[in-house]
Amino acid sequence: MKNIFKLMALFAFVLCFTSCDDDEKADIPSLPVTAANLNGTWQLTEWNGQPLAEGTYCYITFNRKELTFKMYQKFDSMYARCITGYFSIEKDPYLGYVISGEYDFGNGDWNSDYIVTDLLESGSMIWTAKDNENDVNKYVRCEKVPEEIVKEAEKDY
């Protein structure tokens, strides 16, 4: 009988240690994707897990009150460009928050709608193209678009 109690105590002791999981990651809560939480300037720092090529950049500034954006980018041209337009955010019950946009001057919609995840208070977020899960962009919040970029992009604006 003593052996049974010892075995039961041993099993209880072993169970206590196996049920504890030290490998759990602390979940960092994401902010809801709202115009207020996006308001300000963001810099694209990674595209598909890679840093941007030297000499290329993308900054986007969101205006929460007017639901407008101003983008400074240098990707598809040897010249910097300033692009403006409107954005909208909707919450899809299956995908989460989706951001879409329309360029000014009748230039059409963004190439993709993007699922926004990991919008962190520390100032970063991930955009994944709704129609291409391999198109992943990481943005980090920054104070402002550098002046030399604004001057270069807006000289023809």
Question: What would the pLDDT profile of 11-59 be if each residue is shown by its tens digit?
Answer: 555 545 554 544 444 577 899 999 999 999 999 999 999 999 999 999 9
Matching CATH number, 35-154, of 3.40.50.12140, 3.40.50.460, 2.40.128.280, 1.10.600.10:
2.40.128.280
The mean pLDDT value of the chain amounts to 87
Element (H, E) at 116: strand 114-120
Reported confidence tier of residue 86, pLDDT bands at 50, 70, 90: very high
Residues 142/124, Cβ–Cβ less than 8 Å:
no
Beta strand pairing call for 96-103 and 114-120: antiparallel
Tell me which residue has tokens 């962190």. 120
One-letter amino acid of 93: P
